């Protein structure tokens, strides 16, 4: 296995540097904005700007790669990320930050797609599952490492911004010196709302709702911690521990969703998240330990919803349609990511200690109710017809190329050389 991983080590290292930079920037911006007394709605719009840019990057990067190639595009994307994070130091202005955050989201998505396309090209089919798992674990660790660097500096000065810029620049080096050949063209995806809805209404709706919930927490969780005066180190833990818990929870949730109706498992994790929502809204804890424990449980729930959604939609999809379905759901997740931070930022303006979890509570109630409705209307997919559950990174770091790297995508490649897949909307 080792000699199969060595050729992709440089590529994966570039991804790790990229994720470390994203972890730093994603946390330092709302903290600095809060110190600068930016309106909470403006801080929420940072998340909205990121989501808009990220979706645009997923859609338009393949066109750029066709014109100038993978390496040039990757270098340009990383350069814009460096410029964007440094410009936030020069222009301390909410509107400017929102625009720069959108630019970073666009380039971050594009850079991630190119890295994943290289991995997809180099990973042998028989090792694809292990490569995908290693890639996901490395990226999760990198995001957490970036977030845990926040206590090393002060958001009020320039150090953390420069550190993020350094890691964005470092991301270029492994791919620039790698001898790996340029991969095939990137996966292109679009949003066919009718086809996605017909494939799986609950996956369609839940992708939007969990995108809204997770993006609200990912953008404004740090602001919530600042409102509680928790301290920088505690806030960093409050944002990192949920990711770790979500990764650990993938194993039991995956086992249960493969054995039982995935919609029931979805309802279970929604109830778990809902309990934490109610705890924060009603009891309003403000001490570090209770907040960290509750946030960890919260992450264990919310970061397992998206993989359940993808697995359920995959069960319902026609042969050869996995990448199309998962790519469409990723865009739905991104659209939710546009709406969630705006709504949460607006409510937090009036209710600083409750507004964030009022937003997430609403999303989780809707997921729970609609899953129950769908269970009453349609039978579960038989266990023998299910695809495998695969643990995934949080949706805000996934791209259409992530779907191509996913071991379940090998069915699409088989279908490409075999029978013509049935149209997606027939299911």
322/358: higher pLDDT: 358
Encode pLDDT of 6-19 as tens digits: 557 777 888 899 99
On whether the CB atoms of residues 239 and 28 are closer than 8 A, the answer is no
Encode pLDDT of 147-165 as tens digits: 999 998 899 999 999 999 9
242 Cβ partners below 8 Å, 6+ apart? 217, 295, 296, 298, 299, 300, 302, 303
On whether the CB atoms of residues 35 and 156 are closer than 8 A, the answer is yes
On whether the CB atoms of residues 141 and 244 are closer than 8 A, the answer is no
Q: What is the pLDDT of residue 420?
A: 35
pLDDT at 2 over 70: no
Encode pLDDT of 306-324 as tens digits: 889 888 888 877 776 777 8
Q: What is the pLDDT of residue 425?
A: 43
Indicate the pLDDT class of residue 210, thresholds 50, 70 and 90.
very high
- Structural domains of the chain in order of their starting residue, each with its CATH number: 2-426 (1.20.1250.20)
Encode pLDDT of 260-302 as tens digits: 888 999 999 999 999 999 999 999 998 999 999 999 999 999 9
**pTM of the shown model:** 0.88
Would you call 418 exposed, middle or buried from its count of C-beta atoms within 10 A (0-12, 13-18, 19+)? exposed
Would you call 179 exposed, middle or buried from its count of C-beta atoms within 10 A (0-12, 13-18, 19+)? exposed
Between CA 201 and CA 197 the distance in angstroms is 5
Taking residue 102's Cβ as centre, other Cβ atoms within 10 Å add up to 22
416/113: higher pLDDT: 113
Full DSSP string of 284-308: ---SHHHHHHHHHHHHHHHHHHHHH
């Amino acid at each position: 296995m080792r000699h199969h991983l060595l050729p992709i080590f440089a590529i994966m290292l570039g991804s790790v540097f990229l994720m470390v930079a994203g972890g730093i920037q994603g946390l330092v911006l709302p903290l600095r904005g809060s110190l600068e007394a930016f309106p909470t709605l403006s801080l929420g719009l940072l998340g909205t700007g990121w989501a808009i840019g990220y979706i645009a990057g997923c859609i338009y990067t393949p066109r750029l790669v066709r014109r100038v190639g993978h390496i040039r595009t990757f270098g340009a994307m990383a350069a814009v990320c460096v410029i964007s994070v440094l410009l936030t130091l020069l222009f301390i202005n909410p509107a400017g930050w929102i625009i720069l955050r959108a630019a970073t989201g666009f380039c971050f998505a594009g850079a991630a797609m190119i890295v994943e396309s290289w991995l997809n090209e180099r990973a042998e089919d028989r090792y694809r599952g292990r490569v995908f798992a290693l890639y996901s674990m490395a990226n999760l660790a990198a995001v957490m490492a970036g977030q845990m660097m926040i206590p090393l500096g002060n958001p009020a000065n320039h150090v953390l911004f420069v550190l993020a810029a350094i890691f964005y620049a470092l991301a270029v080096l492994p791919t620039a010196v790698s001898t790996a050949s340029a991969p095939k063209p990137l996966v292109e995806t679009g949003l066919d709302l009718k086809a996605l809805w017909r494939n799986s209404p609950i996956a369609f709706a839940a992708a939007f709702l969990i995108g809204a919930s997770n993006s609200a927490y990912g953008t404004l969780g740090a602001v919530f911690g600042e409102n509680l005066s928790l301290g920088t180190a505690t806030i960093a833990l409050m944002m990192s521990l949920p990711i770790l818990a979500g990764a650990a929870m993938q194993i039991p949730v995956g086992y249960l969703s493969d054995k039982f109706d995935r919609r029931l498992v979805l309802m279970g994790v929604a109830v778990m998240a809902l309990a934490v929502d109610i705890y924060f809204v009603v009891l309003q804890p403000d001490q570090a330990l209770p907040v960290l424990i509750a946030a960890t449980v919260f992450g264990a729930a919310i970061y397992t919803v998206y993989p359940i959604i993808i697995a359920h939609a995959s069960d319902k999809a026609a042969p050869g349609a996995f990448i199309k379905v998962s790519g469409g759901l990723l865009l739905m997740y991104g659209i939710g990511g546009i709406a969630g931070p705006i709504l949460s930022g607006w409510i937090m303006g009036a209710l600083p200690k409750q507004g964030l979890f009022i937003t997430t509570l609403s999303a989780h109630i809707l997921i729970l109710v609609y899953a129950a409705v769908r269970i009453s209307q349609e039978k579960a997919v038989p266990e023998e017809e299910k695809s495998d559950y695969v643990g995934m990174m949080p949706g805000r770091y996934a791209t259409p190329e992530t779907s191509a790297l996913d071991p379940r995508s090998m069915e699409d490649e088989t279908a490409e050389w075999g029978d013509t897949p049935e149209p997606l909307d027939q299911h």
